[in-house]
Chain A
Amino acid sequence: MKRYLIIKNHLAYSGFMVAGALFLLFLAAPLGNLLLSTSIPRLFETLEDEQVNKSIVLSLSMAAVATLASALLIIPFAWLMVRQTSRWKHIISGLIDLPMMIPHSAAGIALLGVVNRESFVGKIASGFGLDFVDRPAGIAIAMAFVSVPYLYNAAYHAFSSVPRKMELAAANLGAKPSKVFFSISLPLSRKGILNGMVMMFARGMSEFGAVIILAYNPFTTPVLIFDRFNAFGLRNAQAISALFILISLTVFILLRILSKPEEDVRN
């Protein structure tokens, strides 16, 4: 068992507890108020609103697309980066973190500059029948752009914690690097990576700033909340917000349960 400094019965203990309680209240009060201000019949009524319904399906499905597509590209790359000794890897990791640091609307503008219909990329994509502006594909790349650092960092840390000798042992037994990745490193990092995917999905489905720049329409739920608030005011927006928070929480808890492995991977 870990032993910690005993701080009970000290002034610091009470002081820190009060500070923490105040902060928890600050987090809980707006959410609690929002949920309490919306009655259950009102929630069901909102759920029957076709536009709301569609926006929820769109938000969840595009967050899933963004997460899965990013996972395919970024997880093997994170493994590669863990094994790099070059100092470039820190610069690359910093670059991947960048979307978390900048205003998401600015991220949306930056993305729009690259994928709009007149741009080079936009034109090539159009050639393949893929449009980003005001299209689900645009929503997915906006979500991916701002939320992928969560997945990359989680995967990076998960791969870093795989003991080096596990991979060496596999190689020694005749496994090619790709086989080492799929049969050893990936399974041993599963927990961390799944957690990262859950975080990325949750962050992606809630994205507003970058999504609204690329695709005001079709509505994702965060954009719809903004639209309803502008058109019909607080009460209308409150019901959708409450509903979306409940759905987000449910999805988040479900995915957390699913991503929890049956046993710890220790040797």
Chain B
Amino acid sequence: MLEIKAIEKHFSGFSLGPVQLRIGKGEHYVLLGPSGSGKSLLLELIAGFQFPDKGEIILNGKDITHLQAHKRSMAFVFQKPALFPHLTNFDNIAYSLHLQRINKSEVRKIVLELSERFHIDHLLDDKPARLSGGEAQRVSLARALAMRPAFLLLDEPLSSLDVQLKKELRQYLIDLNHQGLTMLHVTHDFEEAIRFADASSIIFEGKIIQSGKPSELYKTPANSFVAEMAGHKNFFTGKLLPSKNDELRTADLGGVLIKLYSDSAAEGGIFVVDEHQIILQTEASVTSAQNIFKGIVQQVTYLQKGVEVELNIGIQLFTYITRDSAKKLNLVPGQEIFASFKASAVRFLEH
């Protein structure tokens, strides 16, 4: 378990903290924040690349606040893989093993095992300069894991990859976490957060402004910044039902069936419904929208711009409408309402 206790680090133009965090064993903890929020700095403090001005870092009960980086055994995966260009991929992966003076045959065994797992075994004799972005990030992950870390620190490792490679690497990370590796994952991408996180925090201008399970964070944001950072409130865990023919599919969100477009072969995942594409009507009418639900208005909140309406259609759904529309519909809690949205307003995020 990692505990961050009132960590502070001050520079002339930026201050981090005081930051408190608690990351349980086996958790995939996501720290979400925009660029310049101090999230990477916090990760560097935890890795020992910099030392804090105040506060403590406790790893499994041991104070490591001032321990040098090379003694921490927390592997760090950089946003852009910092592979050593003068070494082969084999020697990159074996770097930590050579430091531990493990015998050659054992080193070979570990490197081969890791490289087979990450499908890079055919690249071992090459230098990193020849690798594609995805291959390089896989080598860097294999290199980090070779040291058998107690903890994995991830600094936006997916952000420089294209969609397909992201998916691949994401799966590796999920598998690793399921095998019990604790991770602290820093990202600015809220979708990554809801895909991965057991727990998460939002950091802004050097301060943690909200912590909790992603669902709590996004559904009850502490302030407008968190709401904006989270982007969407309508996300649901569910199952994509198999389809025989076309791309129009059905998803089962705990008993509520919605239609969406997807060519995914995956089953489980997260479904996001765009709050801005939900139309409210007081009466049912024939529309081109694939999804029409009868629901009950739960709450009407007047925001600076527009109105947020929370409805229950079997699942909690949020939608934004203009003040003008709210007035026209005369919305009050308890009222019956029809909500419709197109199949294209739903996105499926595979696990």
Contacts and interface: CB of A to CB of B under 8 A. Distances in A.
B86 A188 contact: yes
B76 A188 contact: no
Contacts of A266: 85, 129
Nearest to A265: B85
Grouping DSSP codes into helix (H, G, I), strand (E, B) and loop, the A interface class, with mixed when no group exceeds half, is: helix
Interface string B69-104: 111111110100011111000000001100110000
Q: Which 6 A-B pairs have the closest CB atoms?
A: A169-B82, A173-B96, A171-B69, A165-B82, A172-B76, A267-B85
Contact of A173 (B48, B95, B127): B95
A175 B129 CA distance: 23
A69 interface: no
Contacts of B85: 188, 265-267
A166 B75 CA distance: 14
Contact of B70 (A165, A172, A184, A265): A172
B110 to A, nearest CB: 13
Interface of A: 163, 165-166, 168-177, 179, 183-184, 187-188, 263, 265-267
A179 B84 CA distance: 14
B100 A169 contact: no
Contacts, number: 68
Given A173-B95, A174-B96, A175-B70, A267 B143 contact: no
Contacts of B48: 171
A64 B34 CA distance: 54
A99 B281 CA distance: 86
Given A171-B68, A188-B84, 14 more contacts: A166-B82, A168-B47, A168-B76, A169-B78, A169-B82, A171-B48, A172-B74, A173-B99, A174-B147, A175-B70, A188-B85, A267-B82, A267-B83, A267-B128
Contact of A174 (B47, B49, B70): B70
Contacts of A174: 70-71, 73, 96, 99-100, 147
Contacts of A175: 70, 95, 99
B58 to A, nearest CB: 19
A183 B86 CA distance: 10
Nearest to B69: A171
Interface in B119-144: 127-129, 143-144
A168 B68 CA distance: 11
Given A173-B99, A174-B70, A179-B99, A184 B49 contact: no
Nearest to B140: A169
A172 B129 contact: no
Nearest to B131: A267
A169 B84 CA distance: 9
B84 A184 contact: yes
A196 to B, nearest CB: 18
Contacts of A166: 82, 84
Contact of A165 (B68, B73, B78): B78
A266 B127 CA distance: 10
Contact of A265 (B82, B86, B100): B86
B136 to A, nearest CB: 8
Contacts of A179: 99
**Most chain B Cβ neighbours within 10 Å, of A172, A177, A179, A266:** A172
A165 to B, nearest CB: 4
Contacts of A184: 84
Contacts of A263: 127, 129
B86 A168 contact: no
A250 to B, nearest CB: 30
Contacts of B73: 174
A177 B70 CA distance: 8
B70 A171 contact: yes
A91 B185 CA distance: 42
A149 to B, nearest CB: 27
